[in-house]
Each structure stands twice: as C-alpha cells, then as structure tokens.
Structure 1
Amino acid sequence: MQEKFNEDQFAADLDATLSHLELLGRQDAMQFIENGYVVARQAFPRAIATDICERTWQWFKQEYDIARDDPSTWNKRFPGKRIDAYLTYSGGGQVYRLQTDAPRAFQAQVDAVGGVERFLEGNDLAWNDASIANLGVKDDPDWEPAGIKRTGWHKDGWHFRHFLDSPEQGLLTVPIYSDIVPRAGGMHVAADSVAPVARLLADHPEGLHPDSVQGSGYLVPGLLEQCHVFEELVGEAGDMVIVHPYLLHRACPNPAAIPRFISNKSPILSEPLCFN
C-alpha cells in the first residue's frame, strides 16, 4: 500500500533544507521545485563567456569557414543536427575550476543538491570550454512557440540506463555564454514534466534504455501528453540555468539570427538519489 504524502512533514523538511542554502533563496528553491529549473543570475564572470565564444568562433572559421560577420556562411545544416545553423564545439582543453573561477556557479549547484559532498568531483567541480551554438537563420519559418506538437523533446542522458535514482546526472546545468532574448534560440522546456518522468521511472525499476527518452524515443509522446506548461528560456551571458535531470526540453530554431552560445554540463552525484 502506497504511503500517503505528508504535506506537513514535507514543509518541515523543506524549511530545514532551505536554512542551509548559501546562494539560492526560498524563491529560487520553489521555482526549481515547481517548474523544474531555476536561473542563477550572474553565476560566472562574463569574461569566461566572452573567452569561450571567441574560441568557438575561431574553431568554426577553421573547420567550417564560418565568418561571424557573414550570416550567409551560417545558413546550412550541419551533420547530425535537425536545425539549420546549429553546431557544437567540443572545446580546446581550457578548464575552469568553479570554486575559484566561478564561485557563484559552484555554490548555486552545491545548494541545489544539498552539499558539496554530494558531487562526485566535490570541490573540484569544473567546466571545460565546450559550447553549443545556435547561430540562427533570419526569420526562420520553422520557429514555433514551445508546445506539445514540436519535435526534439527529450530527457538528457544518452550514455547511461535510466533509473529513478540514477547518479550519472545529478543536475543539468546550462551556462549561458551570450545574451538570449525571446525568439532567439533559447531552449524550450516542459516545466511540468518532472513528475510524469519520475512516475515513469518509478514504474520501471529495471531501468529504461536511453534511446526510449531521446528525441525520437517511443516514450516521449506519452510523457508530453501529461504536460501543459511550456516555456522558453532566456538570460544573459554569465547566467546559469540549473535544470532538474528529469525535465523534458528541446532545442529550437533561432529566427532572430543573434548567435546564441550555451553549454550543457551534467555533474555526477557521489551516490544514487535517495527518496527516503
């Protein structure tokens, strides 16, 4: 028999947890709980964002002859991508140790998981200089508001079998390296998808193959049918979006053709998630 949810106990436990936060506040915590993500403003120096964008442009020029001042060189479909002018840079070896190079980004993630000891890397949590670019196609007719009928919705984690307590992806963190305005390639999220995904994982203790929850995964449509709140993420260079690992999201076209640069980090937990 399923134990009845104790709202009073949850409220008391939540208050106790929030008392230990150092950077995030109650409003941030409630945003994360209710919508599956929270934006930590000015989480890291804009100088880091500028440096990564510069490295990315240089590599794009070298590999694809893309010129930042010539949008006509962006408008193409790159291998393995479903969106025009969308491509990735795997990085050049630069490492940013968050505790010293971006202490606000470090502490925001520590707050989100409940303590630095819960990260496998602990105090050595770091980012590389990889980036994901959505350069954009001016007035791209393929852009549409976030919604259930759009393609590409998925749960991250192509590299492991998915269990309810999987530690391989404690969070999905999205550093923003360029200012993102509405209708300019910001990530779409299904803000109420955490609960449906959690229920699905709870119903499958044997785990789910990662292909089942990726962009063409057979389980994605059924999950989306349970969602009603779809949003577009915007922000400024130096912001960081902390995303729940169960949150469904998708990339979308960039009709503003204002180049958008972000990254996608997945800090690993030191132990599986605990639901007791």
Structure 2
Amino acid sequence: MVLGTLEPLLVNVLREADLDAFVERGFCVLRGAFDARRAPAARARVWRRMEEKAGIREDDPATWPGAYDIEERLAVPEVLDCFTDRLAAAIEELVGPGRWRGLREWGFWPVNFSYGARLPYAIPTEGWHIDGNWFRHTIDAPNQGLLLIGLFSDVAPREGGTLVAQGSHRRTARVLGEHPGGLTHLELFEAVLAEPIGNFHELTGEAGDVVLAHPFLFHSRGYKHGGPPRFISNTEANLVAPLRLRGLDLSVLERSVRSALTGPPPRFDAPQRCRF
C-alpha cells in the first residue's frame, strides 16, 4: 500500500534522547509502535507461509529448523494493520517530511527457532552484515533509508534477538566516504570488517516494538537459548532522493552520516573479529 506524503498529524513521536541514540549508537526504539494484540494474527500468516513453502508446521516442532527466512512482503490486512501512523511519523522524524516513499508494508521475515541453541552463549563471529544486496552502496544511496525491525513476538535476553554493533554505522559511513564510486555488498563487508567491531547489543522488547536502525548499522542473528520461536520482520523505508550531506536543512539521518564523516572514528568496547 503506497500512500502520499504523511500529513503532520503526529509530532514529536521520538524524544530528543531517541534522536541522539540514532546518531551515536545507530538505532532507536519506538515502543508500542503497533498494538501487540495484532501480533498473533500476523504471526499466524507467517506460520501459514512457512508451512506452504517449507512444511514448517506450528503444531509440529519436529518440522522446525534452526532458523528460516521468508524473503517476501505479506500484503495482507493482518500484517498491514501493524504499520501505523505513529510508526510512519517516527520515520519522517528521522529521514525528513516527504523524504521516503511511504511504502507501509512489512517484508522479509527472519524466524529464529533455535539458532545456536547447542552452542555456549556468545556473540557470533559470523553473519555480520548490512542489508541491501540489490544495489551498489554509496554514501548517499537512497535505496534503504532506514532499516525497520518490527518485533512480532516478545524477545527476552538470549532468546534470539538481533545483535547490533553499536556505532558500526559510523565506520561504514567512513568507508563509503573513501569510495565515491561505491562498493558492492561484499566489498563493503570486507572493508568494514577488516578491523574488529564491538559495542554489541541484543535487541529485546515486546511485540509491537519497532527498532528504527541506521542503514549502515552492522547486525547479525543472535543465539537463541530459550523461549518460543522469535518472529521479527525487516523492511526498509527507502527514500525518494539521495541523501544530502551539505547545507543546513539536513534530516537526522543526513546529520548522522555527516557527523560520522567529520568526527573521530568510532571506538568499540569488547571488540572482536567478525565476518559475513
């Protein structure tokens, strides 16, 4: 469902601390972005698609893999109702009014059943990436805009939440700033992950929460040592035009990129070598 420019019905959805967290850490969280009571119906549609595509049945844990990804949008009412005006207003606070395409759909569903359950709990060294394998990455690319991580189930600590390397968006920006011609997905991974990253944080919360993450933020699937299957949806809030990195009237997203380019390089606590 594509809508026009969002009318300014909601203002100040995000606090100043949220905006600062987005610039410095690479993400902020909108708690209760949609009604948690809608999550079970949305999960039921994901279960139905997993059974249709791979024979994964909710009533038969023997059919459950460690993890399964549905790489498609589910444009059905049960899912569309979870993309609210409040969430759209928060997006516009970060990217600027009228600056995103307004596609209010949830796409790409990573379901974590038991990934890493047989391993000691740790920060995985594999699987670190940013999204966007469908375009060439440049410092001003409009293709993603924001990474939205919608929680469609409660996620407690060590229950398979997405892991992020806080501040890694700043290194990504600096790498892209050094390559004005852009980089492929894998070239970007190799350049950013050539040095250790750290400041690892597990994204936890309740169904209905949405993480608004920087498109340059490196993240990975976390080990799952308990709890029911974890349902999230990842989608993008892609932009109508490339980022502007000069001038005064910059969005929060644009200011975050300029800050990364002009400020000191990020410092990581508990750094470790990671790879895709």
Q: Aligning the two structures, in what range does the TM-score lie when normalised by the shorter sequence?
A: 0.7 to 0.9
TM-score, reference length from structure 1: 0.78
Matched residue, 2:225: 255
Percentage identity across paired residues of the two chains: 34
Q: Which position in structure 2 is the counterpart of 1:56?
A: 46
Residue number in structure 2 paired with 1:219: 191
For the residues of structure 1 that align with 2:114 and 2:233, how far apart are their CA atoms? 16
Show the 5 A alignment for 1:2-13: none
Q: Aligned letter for 1:151?
A: E
Partner residue of 1:202 out of 177, 201, 204:
177
Q: Deviation at 1:44?
A: 1.1
CA contact (8 A) 2:146 2:215 kept: yes
Q: How far 1:47 moved relative to its partner?
A: 3.8
Change (3 A) 1:143 1:185: farther
Q: Distance in 1 between matches of 2:55 and 2:186?
A: 33
Aligned to 2:100: 119
How many corresponding residue pairs? 236
Bigger shift: 61-70 or 23-32?
Answer: 61-70
Q: Distance in 1 between matches of 2:185 and 2:143?
A: 12
TM-score by length of 2: 0.78
Are 1:153 and 2:128 an aligned pair?
yes
Alignment pair present for 1:46 and 2:18: no
Q: Partners in 1 of 2:245 and 2:83 — Cα distance?
A: 33
Letter in 1 for 2:104: A
* Aligned-pair CA distance for 1:128: 4.0
**Alignment partner for residue 85 of structure 2, among 80, 91, 103?**
103
Spell out, residue by residue over 1:124-176, the C-alpha distance to the aligned partner (whole angstroms, 9 max, x if none): x3114652211226x812363336xx101112110100000010011001111
- Relative to structure 1, is the Cα distance of residues 102 and 92 closer, same or farther in structure 2, using a 3 angstrom cutoff? closer
Q: Which residues of structure 2 form unaligned runs of 5+?
A: 1-9, 247-276
What residue in structure 1 maps to residue 251 of structure 2?
Answer: none
Distance 1:257 1:63, change over 3 A: farther
Matched, 1:90 2:75: no
Alignment gaps of 5+ in structure 1: 1-19, 77-83
CA shift for structure 1 position 52: 1.5
When the two chains are superposed, the root-mean-square deviation of aligned CA atoms in Å is: 2.4
Measure the CA separation in 2 of the matches of 1:202 and 1:220. 12
Distance (whole Å) between structure 1 residues aligned to residue 239 and residue 152 of structure 2: 25
Query: Which residue among 108, 111, 114 is the counterpart of 1:133?
Result: 111
Residue identity in the other structure for 1:134: N
CA 228–130 in structure 1, closer or farther in 2 if over 3 Å, else same: closer
Q: 1:143–1:167: structure 2 CA closer, same or farther, 3 Å change rule?
A: farther
SS at match of 1:219: helix
Distance 2:180 2:11 in 1: 32
Answering whether residue 216 of structure 2 is matched by residue 239 of structure 1, we say no
8 A contact 1:179–1:237 mirrored in 2: yes
In the alignment, the residues of structure 2 paired with residue 145 and residue 155 of structure 1 have an alpha-carbon distance, to the nearest angstrom, of: 20
The offset of 1:220, in angstroms, is 4.1
